[in-house]
């Protein structure tokens, strides 16, 4: 039953991708910007969680909440400093700014604390292994899955049941019409960045607890893969990001299990290319006609 074990590993990894992908997809849905710095918010979240656990001796949940709050503020700051002026700029200018912000955060962190990796303490969560139909399953991966699912449910409630969520949906549907209806667009965009970045921060802490090792450039590859997950599910669509993340995680585990672990990173990009060629709008996407 090794397959079941790989499947559970894949779903745990996929739920981390999904949490990051949610931030990408929400931001893209609202201001049509690929926020390259999002993977680095994930990295910052992992480090904040690490210092909270190791330095202040907080438990898992307080550290998770602290990291989420920190990242929410950080995400809003990035948006206010760099992206706000670019609302009416060309897409290329916005994309390049996002790349610049990403590099700035990465190397700013390296400059501030050095490039050496850190290791999360391994007693943050109780770790027991138990047998399920012959598969060795770690309680940590189930716990992580539960936390991720909980966060996603909270997100769904925020988006569909609150006023802020309604404003977010309105702005992503038509930004000008939303402004005419009296919605404070700037504040809504800030909320979006705050929520997305908080999820990325949570993903960072979860990643740290699960994989132990964190370092300043760790955000690049998960960030890109989360973007792949967002595109896979249909960018701008929240359930799409969740499904895309889970699919990507499972595919990666299967590729590793088949003995091609060195090709694991390529698998994500091959999925990306295939989806872009055959269905660029993603699994849940609808085709829209281009108007001249």
Partner 1 sequence: MKKVTKFWLFLILAVVIYGIGQALIQTGILNAFYSNMLILMIINIILAVSLHLVIGITGQFSIGHAGFLAVGAYVSAIITMKFELPFVLAIIIGGIVAALAGLLVGIPTLRLRGDYLAIATLGFGEIIRIVFLNIEYVGGAAGMMVSNMTTWTSAFVCLVITILVISNFTNSRHGRACIAIRENEIAADAMGINTTFYKVAAFSIGSFFAGIAGGLFSHNFYIIQPTNFGFLKSFDILIFVVLGGLGSLSGSVIAAILLTVISTYLQQYPETRMIIYSVVLVVVMLYRPQGLMGTREITDFFGKKKSAKGGI
The contact set with partner 1 (CB under 8 A) reads 32, 34, 82, 85-86, 89-97, 99-104, 106-108, 110-111, 115, 224, 227-228, 231, 262-263, 265-266, 269-270, 272-273, 276-277, 280, 290, 292
In the complex, the smallest distance separating the C-beta of residue 183 from partner 1, rounded to whole angstroms, is 25
Residue closer to partner 1, measured from CB, 39 or 165: 39
Closer by beta carbon to partner 1, 95 or else 164: 95
Minimum separation from the CB atom of position 34 to partner 1 (A)? 5
- Least separation, in Å, of the C-beta of 189 and partner 1? 17
Find the shortest distance in angstroms from Cβ 214 to partner 1: 18
CB-nearer residue toward partner 1: 42 or 83: 83
Report angle CA 277, 221, 282 to the nearest 5 degrees.
30
Q: How far is the CB of 288 from partner 1 (least distance, A)?
A: 13
Residue 287 sits at φ, ψ, to 5 deg, of -75, 135
Backbone angles phi, psi at 126, to 5 degrees: -60, 135
Minimum CB distance to partner 1 smaller for 8 or for 237: 237
Tokens of 261: 């672990």
Least CB distance from residue 89 to partner 1, whole Å? 6
How near is the Cβ of 290 to partner 1 at its closest, in Å? 8
**Cα separation, 161 vs 181, whole angstroms:** 19
Comparison of 167 and 248: residue with beta carbon closer to partner 1: 248
Q: How far apart are the C-alpha atoms of 95 and 88, rounded to whole Å?
A: 13
Nearest residue (CB) to partner 1, 1 versus 115: 115
Nearer to partner 1, 24 or 60 (CB): 24
Q: Looking at beta carbons only, is 81 or 157 nearer to partner 1?
A: 81
The CA–CA distances, whole Å, from 252 to 108, 132, 170, 245 equal 31, 22, 35, 11
List the structure tokens of 215: 């370092």
| Cβ contact 271:52 at 8 Å | no
Distance between the two ends of the chain, CA-based, in angstroms? 55
Q: To the nearest whole angstrom, how small is the minimum distance from the Cβ of residue 8 to partner 1?
A: 26
d(CA 272, CA 275): 5
């Amino acid at each position: 039953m090794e397959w079941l074990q790989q499947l559970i590993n894949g779903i745990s990894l996929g739920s981390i991708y999904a949490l990051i992908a949610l931030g990408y997809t929400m931001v893209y849905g609202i201001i049509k910007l690929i926020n390259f710095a999002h993977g680095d918010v994930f990295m910052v979240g992992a480090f904040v969680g690490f210092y909270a656990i190791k330095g202040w001796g907080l438990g898992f949940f307080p550290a998770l909440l602290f990291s989420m709050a920190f990242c929410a503020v950080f995400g809003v700051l990035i948006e206010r400093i760099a992206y706000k002026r670019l609302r009416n700029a060309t897409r290329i200018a916005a994309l390049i700014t996002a790349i610049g912000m990403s590099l700035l955060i990465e190397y700013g962190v390296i400059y501030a604390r050095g490039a050496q990796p850190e290791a999360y303490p391994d007693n943050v969560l109780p770790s027991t292994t138990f047998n399920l139909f012959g598969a060795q399953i770690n309680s940590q991966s189930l716990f992580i899955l539960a936390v991720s699912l909980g966060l996603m449910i909270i997100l769904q409630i925020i988006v569909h049941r609150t006023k802020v969520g309604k404003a977010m949906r309105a702005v992503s549907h038509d930004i000008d019409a939303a402004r005419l209806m009296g919605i404070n667009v700037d504040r809504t965009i800030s909320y979006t960045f705050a929520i997305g970045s908080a999820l990325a921060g949570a993903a960072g802490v979860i990643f740290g607890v699960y994989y132990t090792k964190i370092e300043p450039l760790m955000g690049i590859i998960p960030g890109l893969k989360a973007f792949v997950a967002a595109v896979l599910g249909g960018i701008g669509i929240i359930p799409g990001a969740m499904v895309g993340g889970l699919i990507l995680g499972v595919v990666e585990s299967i590729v590793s299990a088949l003995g091609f672990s060195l090709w694991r990173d390529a698998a994500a990009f091959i999925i990306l290319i295939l989806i872009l060629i055959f269905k660029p709008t993603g699994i849940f996407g609808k085709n829209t006609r281009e108007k001249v």
